[in-house]
């Protein structure tokens, strides 16, 4: 029965650790997805670099902006040629033009997906070089409308993922706690006659409860150690299994680098789980 109690405690604490690592995995995955979403601003070929840099300075001052990458006309042409290095016809046509047909660009990243709308609004209404609103804009186009569906879906995904992760984690932890409490209650059931005898000879409730609470605490301690051991190969397996879809997220490294904090959470959770489960299990046989 003691082995069963330790094993069930380990499974319960393994779920707690899996929820912690799973949240880290989800957060890293969503962060990587967010980093791949941006808004591109394409400038007219006639726009001066001074005006473009002035606009960049204004964008950098916005709290919604995470970063603004400026790609000048020469760099834009170099990247275009590199991307189309295998298209000889296109490159030949480009050479026949005799000039650079590409304008400078901004690659803008926001802190949150929901902030791209306000950035696009700023670019639409506040990008005049001077206060004279009759002055033509230096911007050719902004591709926010092209990415709007992706951005909105990502925004909804982030909101839904937070709620879903919390709900699943809470449900699994509650289920694990109930199973652990039932197992320890079953273990204490074998000692119900001893408890009755102790009650008959005048033993106090704390005296009776004490050994079982200590046993439950030891179950939690050993379960935490076992869960900590099991989490390492589990994190390694998840890393290998998801490397194709979420490259760059190494849960093994995350687990090892945060081993102290994770094990402390497991340890405290195991102690609390064992103590509370034992306390509630003994309570029935004390008739209080």
Query: pLDDT tens for residues 236-278?
Result: 887 776 666 555 567 778 788 888 888 888 888 888 877 877 7
pLDDT of residue 288: 46
CB 100 within 8 Å of CB 88: no
What does the H/E/C string look like for 258-270? CHHHHHHHHHHHH
- Mean confidence (pLDDT) of the chain: 78
When pLDDT is averaged across residues 166-192 and rounded to a whole number, the result is 72
Predicted structure pTM score: 0.59
Give the three-class secondary structure for 278.
helix
When pLDDT is averaged across residues 29-47 and rounded to a whole number, the result is 79
Is 37-151 in CATH node 3.10.450.50?
Answer: no
Q: What are the boundaries of each domain within the chain?
A: 2-33+153-286, 37-151
Please state, for a pLDDT cut of 70, what percent of the chain lies above it. Answer: 82
Contacts 24+ apart (CB under 8 A), 184-189: 184/5, 184/216, 184/219, 184/274, 184/277, 184/278, 184/281, 185/277, 185/280, 185/281, 185/284, 186/1, 186/4, 187/1, 187/2, 187/4, 187/5, 187/281, 188/212, 188/278, 188/281, 188/282, 188/285
Lowest-pLDDT range, 11-15, 43-47, 124-128?
A: 124-128
Question: Which DSSP state fits 11?
Answer: H
């Amino acid at each position: 029965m003691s082995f069963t109690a330790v094993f069930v405690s380990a499974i319960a604490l393994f779920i707690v650790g899996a929820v912690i690592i799973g949240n880290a995995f989800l957060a890293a995955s969503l962060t990587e997805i967010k980093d791949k979403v941006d808004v591109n601003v394409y400038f007219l070929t006639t726009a001066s670099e001074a005006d473009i840099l002035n606009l960049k300075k204004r964008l950098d001052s916005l709290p919604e902006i995470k970063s603004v990458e400026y790609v000048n006309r020469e760099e834009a042409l170099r990247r275009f040629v590199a991307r189309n290095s295998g298209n000889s016809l296109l490159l030949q046509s480009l050479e026949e033009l005799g000039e650079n047909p590409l304008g400078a660009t901004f690659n803008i990243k926001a802190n949150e997906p929901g902030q791209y709308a306000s950035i696009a609004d700023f670019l639409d209404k506040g990008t005049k070089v001077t206060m004279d609103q009759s002055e033509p804009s230096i911007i050719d186009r902004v591709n926010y409308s092209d990415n709007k569906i992706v951005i909105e879906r990502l925004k909804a995904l982030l909101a839904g993922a937070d709620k879903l992760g919390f709900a699943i984690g809470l449900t699994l932890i509650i289920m694990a706690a109930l199973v652990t409490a039932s197992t320890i209650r079953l273990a204490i059931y074998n000692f119900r006659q001893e408890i009755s005898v102790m009650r008959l000879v005048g033993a106090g409730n704390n005296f009776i409860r004490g050994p079982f609470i200590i046993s439950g605490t030891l179950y939690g301690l050993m379960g935490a150690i076992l869960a900590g051991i099991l989490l390492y190969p589990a994190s390694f397996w998840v890393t290998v299994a998801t490397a194709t879809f979420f490259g760059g997220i190494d849960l093994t490294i995350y687990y090892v680098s945060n081993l102290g904090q994770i094990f402390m959470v497991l340890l405290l959770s195991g102690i609390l789980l064992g103590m509370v489960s034992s306390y509630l299990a003994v309570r029935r046989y004390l008739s209080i």
